[in-house]
Structure 1
Amino acid sequence: MLLKRLFRLFSNDLAIDLGTANTLVHVRDRGIVLNEPSVVAIRTGSLSPGKTVLAVGQDAKLMLG
């Protein structure tokens, strides 16, 4: 029992819900610490080779046109 309590002091229990609209992260004893839209804005094109992440979450959702 003591070892179990000691282990809890040095670890975080998280739950991640990768929902269709929002991504939620819940931390034990703190509750929901992240609730953001599941959106990523990516730049592609000839000016920059490859893909570049411009924004995630609410910032990316605001960029939807």
Structure 2
Amino acid sequence: MNKKSISSIINWMSGDIAIDLGTANTLIWLKGKGIVINEPSIVARTIHDDNIVAVGNEAKAMLGRT
């Protein structure tokens, strides 16, 4: 899940939406579509300036990398 896909979902919020910010996974459910996102609740950031570089599956794939 990248920043662009998150933005497109947020911009589409004219219908009903449910967000579950779980400990292990974050789920987003849309009325008429069901669960549209089910990804790990993890964020990758730079050590020096705390910039976010990835979220969800992409961030999980980076886990343990320096």
Give the TM-score range, shorter chain.
0.7 to 0.9
Q: Scaled by the length of structure 2, what TM-score is found?
A: 0.72
Superposed, 1:21-36 pairs within 5 Å as 21-36=24-39
Higher relative contact order (CA 8 A, sep 6+): 2
Aligned-pair identity (%): 57
Q: Which has the larger radius of gyration?
A: 1
List per-residue Cα deviations over 1:11-42 (Å, max 9, x = no partner): 31001001110000000111001111000001
Paired residues in the alignment total: 51
Structure with greater strand share of residues:
1
Q: Scaled by the length of structure 1, what TM-score is found?
A: 0.73
AA aligned opposite 1:28: K
Output the aligned Cα RMSD. 0.9
Runs of 5+ consecutive residues of structure 2 not aligned to the other structure = 1-13
